[in-house]
Amino acid sequence: MIVERIEEYVFGGLVTALGVFTLVDATTITARGTAGTVGPRAFPYAVGALLVVTGVAAIVATAKGKLGQAAKAADAADADTGLRTDWPTVAKLVAVLVAHLALIDVVGWPVAAVVLFAGAAWTLGAVWWKALAVAVVLALVVQVVFASGLGLSLPAGVLEGVPLLDG
């Protein structure tokens, strides 16, 4: 619980920091010939102030023991709030997403999609070969639908030139 409380402080701190950044960066926005009217800086100042105030308020609320998580009991169907946070799973999913976006331009969308789907399903507990099989079918179907049906072509990458897949 103590770790989660520290996290809440950090998040509130980040909101405050973003507010400060907004206020500081807003002074660098060029505002020419807007005398007498409201220029492009006013709204950023207001938003920056809102972020600073709410960030601090969230920190104060946390200090008073009003944690954000406590109120969230019954709303996530597949999440068991009683469980400990499974950080390795979150990290793996983020890694899979990074791999996906790094691979698109290198090997094409279908292969990158297989990596994303199979990687995510396996991370979450699916049998690896089943996840892989579903991923291959799904990626190919989406690629064909985009290439032929929607007229929007996803980069085929290593599968370039293959009929149906390369739109």
Partner 1 sequence: MGSLTALLEGFATAAQPEYLLYALLGVTLGTAVGVLPGIGPAMTVALLLPLTYTLEPTAALIIFAGIYYGGMYGGSTTSILLNTPGESSSIVTALEGNRMARAGRGAAALATAAIGSFVAGTIATILLTALAPTIADLAVTLGPADYVALMVVAFTTVAALLGSSPARGLAALGLGLFLGLVGTDTLSGQQRFTLGVSTLADGIDVVVVAVGVFAVGEALYVASRLRHGPVEVVPVGGRWFTREFWSRSWKPWLRGTFIGFPVGTVPAGGADVSTFLSYAAEKKLSKHPEEFGKGAIEGVAGPEAANNAAAAGVLVPLLTLGLPTTATAAVIVAAFQSYGIQPGPLLFTDNSGMVWALIASLYIGNVMLLVLNLPLVRIWVKVLQIPRPYLYAGILLFAALGTYAVNFVVDDLIVLLVIGVAGFFMRRHGYPVAPLVVGLILGPMAEEQVRRTLQISEGDLTALVASPFAAATYGVLAVVLVVATVVRVRGSHRSRALASPPSVK
* Interacting positions 44-73 with partner 1 (CB under 8 A): 44, 47, 50-51, 54-55, 57-58, 60-61, 66-73
Tell whether residue 167 is a contact of partner 1 (CB under 8 A).
Answer: no
Among residues 108, 110, 111, 116, the one that binds partner 1 under rule CB under 8 A: 116
Question: 119: how many CB neighbours lie within 10 A of its CB?
Answer: 21
Tell whether residue 124 is a contact of partner 1 (CB under 8 A).
Answer: yes
**Exposed/middle/buried for residue 85 (C-beta within 10 Å: 0-12, 13-18, 19+):** exposed
Tell whether residue 160 is a contact of partner 1 (CB under 8 A).
Answer: no
Q: How far is residue 26 CA from its own chain's centroid?
A: 26
35 DSSP assignment: T
Tell whether residue 104 is a contact of partner 1 (CB under 8 A).
Answer: yes
CB of 104 to partner 1, least distance (A): 6
Tell whether residue 111 is a contact of partner 1 (CB under 8 A).
Answer: no
Tell whether residue 85 is a contact of partner 1 (CB under 8 A).
Answer: yes
Among residues 6, 63, 89, 158, the one that binds partner 1 under rule CB under 8 A: 89
Residue whose C-alpha is closest to residue 47's, from 30, 27, 23, 16: 23
As a whole number of angstroms, the distance between CA 167 and CA 146 comes to 8
As a whole number of angstroms, the distance between CA 154 and CA 141 comes to 12
Tell whether residue 132 is a contact of partner 1 (CB under 8 A).
Answer: no
Tokens of 148: 């032929």
Tell whether residue 113 is a contact of partner 1 (CB under 8 A).
Answer: yes
Residue whose C-alpha is closest to residue 143's, from 115, 120, 121, 113: 113
Q: Which of residues 5-44 bind partner 1 (CB under 8 A)?
A: 7-8, 11-12, 15, 18-19, 22, 25-26, 29-32, 34, 36-40, 42-44
CB of 162 to partner 1, least distance (A): 19
Tell whether residue 133 is a contact of partner 1 (CB under 8 A).
Answer: no
Question: 165: how many CB neighbours lie within 10 A of its CB?
Answer: 22
